[in-house]
Structure 1
Amino acid sequence: MRFMLDFLLLPLFLHVLPLGAPEAPRPAAAVVRQTPAPAKELLTWSASRPLTWADFKGRPNTGDPLHALTTANIGAQIGCQDYVFSANVQATFTPTESWVKSPHTESAALLHHEQVHFDLTEVHARQLRQKLKTLKFDCEHLQPAFNNVMKVAIANWQREQQRYDVDTNHGLNLIKQKTWDDQVLQRLTALQAYAAPAPAAAGTASSSGQ
């Protein structure tokens, strides 16, 4: 018995508001679909390859009060072979759907805030990898059980991303930002055993859509 399923979690859009702007809630939709993601450039999270402003290739909405928008994703490919479950989970960044208003908003502090959004996505990807290693899936009824796990995972991910922006005031509260910096780094370190394997080709920092 051998089959594979691709699951795409719809992207979570992470916004940065300018100082003094009202915080308008923009809920991010996230569902699990049994369809491959559209072919597009994706940057897979890597400790050795942080984001740069050049990665933000989307066209900003000049009428939008936001200073920057990051599109982060968690995708999963699962399968069974000889009734043995396997999964490949990736945290990715979509350049063409992420943007920054330049040049005056391209600050190092703002980029760092966006990087921690991406790092937090990797934290939740590692937690998902850890969870999937501990569960015993019935390969005859794989999809319903996996869907339930993914729904919980994405809900937790969204909730914490939103709390990060609220707590740090989108990076403007430097004390809170430092607290989140330290916590996210500690969690990445604690979950190092569940980091994704390094790409086969050295230096590769992007992947096609799953």
Structure 2
Amino acid sequence: MRSTRYYFKSVVSIVFLGLIMSFGLFQDEGKTIAWSENRPLKWEDFQGPPADDSPYKALTDYRITFKGSINPNNYGKKGPNVQETVYEVDCMFNIDRSWVKEGARTEELLKHEQVHFDIAEWHARTLRKELDKLKTADPKTQKLATKLFQDISRDCRRLQEQYDSNTDHGVKPDQQEEWSGRVAKELKKLSKYAKE
């Protein structure tokens, strides 16, 4: 059994005539691993100190971030003074804040933790898809991008909680298998929006 802590940071940077405007919180997040289809999680990645008072066996700490910047190559191509924004979305696993308790390192629990990270990537891809529709760099678009981020982050948190509830934190093998398949299908549907 385990719990997942969710860190979502909105990092939006818009560069306009040499002026950099940033929104969000910046802090040292420690060592991270970017989500990759070719790089599944290993127990060695869970290096944070376990929470002794937690009833759970492991914790996956991830974050989804996004930032936007003006594409200088497209300035004015869509009209006088029209700027295009390019967005970058990352889904990261935090090594220093993810943990597993002694004696809990089973293959089943690791698969459960991987699906938590995969759910985060699913939502990162959804965010990439939606941000791809926003190109014009103006304050209205920036607000819309931030709202999209907040809405998708909220959906991700809800789905993570539902996943833990339905699988009883990975204890129910049939439900775990069902969720693993469901998440894999969603990632495949959104493969166009994978970062790799």
- Structure 2 length normalisation: TM-score? 0.81
SS of equivalent to 1:16: coil
Q: CA deviation at 1:29?
A: 6.9
Structure 1's 27 and 106: CA in aligned 2 closer, same or farther, altered over 3 A?
Answer: closer
Q: Is the 8 A contact 2:9 2:64 kept in 1?
A: no
Identify which of 26, 51, 54 aligns with 2:44. 54
- After TM superposition, what 4+ stretches of structure 1 lie above 4 angstroms from structure 2? 26-31
Aligned to 1:105: 104
SS of equivalent to 2:91: strand
Superposed, 1:13-52 pairs within 5 Å as 16=2, 30=8, 32=10, 33-38=23-28, 40-52=30-42
Q: CA deviation at 1:144?
A: 2.1
Structure of larger gyration radius: 2
Q: Is the 8 A contact 1:85 1:137 kept in 2?
A: yes
Q: CA deviation at 1:95?
A: 0.7
**Which of 1 and 2 has higher RCO (CA within 8 Å, sep 6+)?**
1
For 1:128 and 1:53, how far apart are their aligned partners in 2? Answer: 28
For 1:159 and 1:16, how far apart are their aligned partners in 2? Answer: 16
Identify which of 63, 71, 76 aligns with 2:66. 76
The two structures, once aligned, show a CA RMSD in angstroms of 2.1
> Larger deviation: 183-192 or 142-151?
142-151
Q: How many pairs align?
A: 174
Percent identity of equivalent pairs = 31
Structure 1's 149 and 184: CA in aligned 2 closer, same or farther, altered over 3 A?
Answer: same
Superposed, 1:1-210 pairs within 5 Å as 16=2, 30=8, 32=10, 33-38=23-28, 40-81=30-71, 82=75, 83-102=83-102, 104-197=103-196
